[in-house]
Structure 1
Amino acid sequence: MPADSLVPRPAELSTGDYDGLVLTPSTRIDADHAARGTEAWLRTELGAATGLPLQRGDGQNAQIRLSVDPAAGLGSEGYRLIVDGEGALVVGHDPAGAFYGAQTLRQLLPAAAYRRAPVDSAARWTLPSVRITDRPRFGWRGCMLDVARHFMPKHDVLRFIDLLAMHKLNVLHLHLTEDQGWRLEIKRYPRLTEVASWRTESQVGAGSPPVFDGRPHGGFYTQDDIREIVAYAAARHITVVPEIDVPGHSQAAIAAYPELGEGEPVGVARHWGIIDNVLNVTDATLEFYRNVFDEVLELFPSTYVCVGGDECPKEQWRRSETAQWRIREEGLADEGELQSWFIRRFDTYLAERGRRLLGWDEILEGGLAPGATVMSWRGTEGGIAAAKAGHDVVMCPTDTSYLDYRQSEGDDEPIPVGTVLTAADVYTAEPVPAELAEAGAERVLGAQVNIWSEHLDSPRSVDYMAFPRLSAFAEAAWSEGARDYAEFQPRLERHLLRLDACGVEYRPLSGPHPWQRRPGVTGRPR
Structure 2
Amino acid sequence: MDLIPVPRVAVPDEEGRRYVFGPEPVLDAGPGCEGVARWLRREVGGATGWALPAGAPGDLRLRLDPAGTGPEAYRLEVGADGVELTGGDAAGLFWAAQTLRQLLGADAFRRAPLRPGRAWDLPYARIADRPRFGWRGLMLDVARHFMPKDGVLRYIDLLAAHKLNVLHLHLTDDQGWRIEIERHPELTETGSWRPRSRWGHRASPLWNETPHGGFYTHDDIREIVAYAAERHVRIVPEVDIPGHSQAAIAAYPWLGNADVVDTAALRVWEDWGVSENVLAPTEEVLRFYEGVFEELLELFPPEVSPFVHVGGDECPKDQWRASATAQSRIRELGVDGEDGLQSWFIRHFDRWLAERGRRLIGWDEILEGGLADGAAVSSWRGYVGGIAAAEAGHDVVMCPEQQVYLDHRQADGPDEPMPIGYVRSLEDVYRFEPVPPKLSPEAAAHVLGAQANVWTEVMEHQGRVDYQVFPRLAAFAEAVWSWMPEPESRDWAGFEARVPAHLARLDALGVAYRPPGGPLPWQRRPGVRGRPREGAPPIV
Could you tell me the TM-score, scaled by structure 1's length? 0.97
1:402 corresponds to 2:405: yes
In structure 2, how many angstroms separate the alpha carbons of the residues matched to 1:450 and 1:256? 27
In structure 2, how many angstroms separate the alpha carbons of the residues matched to 1:504 and 1:124? 26
Cα deviation for residue 25 of structure 1 reads 2.4
Cα deviation for residue 122 of structure 1 reads 5.2
After superposition, give the CA deviation of every residue in 1:214-238 in whole Å (9 maximum; x if it has no partner): 1100000000000000000000000
After superposition, give the CA deviation of every residue in 1:254-294 in whole Å (9 maximum; x if it has no partner): 00000000131210000000110000011000000000000
The aligned counterpart of 1:273 is 273
Note the 1:158-177 alignment, pairs <5 A: 158-177=153-172
Judge conservation of contact 2:416–2:519 (CA < 8 Å) in 1. yes
Judge conservation of contact 1:347–1:372 (CA < 8 Å) in 2. yes
In structure 1, how many angstroms separate the alpha carbons of the residues matched to 2:437 and 2:204? 42
Query: Amino acid of the residue matched to residue 63 of structure 1?
Result: D
SS in 2 for 1:21: strand
Cα deviation for residue 207 of structure 1 reads 5.0
The aligned counterpart of 1:104 is 99
In structure 2, how many angstroms separate the alpha carbons of the residues matched to 1:39 and 1:18? 28
1:434 corresponds to 2:437: yes
Judge conservation of contact 2:347–2:370 (CA < 8 Å) in 1. no
The aligned counterpart of 1:287 is 287
Which runs of 5 or more structure 1 residues have no equivalent in the other structure? Answer: none
In structure 2, how many angstroms separate the alpha carbons of the residues matched to 1:386 and 1:410? 37
| Residue among 44, 47, 52 paired with 1:46 | 44
Matched length: 520
1:194 corresponds to 2:201: no
SS in 1 for 2:495: helix
The aligned counterpart of 1:78 is 73
Query: Amino acid of the residue matched to residue 151 of structure 1?
Result: F
Cα deviation for residue 388 of structure 1 reads 0.3
Which runs of 5 or more structure 2 residues have no equivalent in the other structure? Answer: 534-540
In structure 2, how many angstroms separate the alpha carbons of the residues matched to 1:26 and 1:104? 21
Cα deviation for residue 519 of structure 1 reads 0.3
Judge conservation of contact 1:340–1:369 (CA < 8 Å) in 2. no
Judge conservation of contact 2:172–2:245 (CA < 8 Å) in 1. yes
Note the 1:97-496 alignment, pairs <5 A: 97-121=92-116, 123-208=118-203, 210-262=205-257, 263-265=261-263, 266-301=266-301, 302-481=305-484, 482-496=489-503
Cα-Cα RMSD: 1.1
Judge conservation of contact 2:41–2:50 (CA < 8 Å) in 1. no
In structure 1, how many angstroms separate the alpha carbons of the residues matched to 2:113 and 2:284? 58
Cα deviation for residue 324 of structure 1 reads 1.1
Query: Amino acid of the residue matched to residue 274 of structure 2?
Result: I
| Residue among 30, 33, 39 paired with 1:32 | 30
Query: Amino acid of the residue matched to residue 58 of structure 2?
Result: A
In structure 1, how many angstroms separate the alpha carbons of the residues matched to 2:115 and 2:300? 42
Query: Structure 1's 459 and 524: CA in aligned 2 closer, same or farther, altered over 3 A?
Result: same
The aligned counterpart of 2:537 is none
After superposition, give the CA deviation of every residue in 1:371-423 in whole Å (9 maximum; x if it has no partner): 32000000000000000000000000011110000000001000000010111
After superposition, give the CA deviation of every residue in 1:295-319 in whole Å (9 maximum; x if it has no partner): 0000012110000001000111111
Judge conservation of contact 1:18–1:85 (CA < 8 Å) in 2. no
Cα deviation for residue 329 of structure 1 reads 1.1
Query: Amino acid of the residue matched to residue 38 of structure 1?
Result: V
In structure 1, how many angstroms separate the alpha carbons of the residues matched to 2:310 and 2:279? 13
In structure 1, how many angstroms separate the alpha carbons of the residues matched to 2:204 and 2:215? 29
Cα deviation for residue 369 of structure 1 reads 4.2
Judge conservation of contact 1:143–1:449 (CA < 8 Å) in 2. yes
SS in 2 for 1:434: coil
Query: What is the percentage of aligned positions where both structures have the same residue?
Result: 60
In structure 2, how many angstroms separate the alpha carbons of the residues matched to 1:508 and 1:492? 11
Cα deviation for residue 50 of structure 1 reads 1.1
Judge conservation of contact 1:138–1:478 (CA < 8 Å) in 2. yes
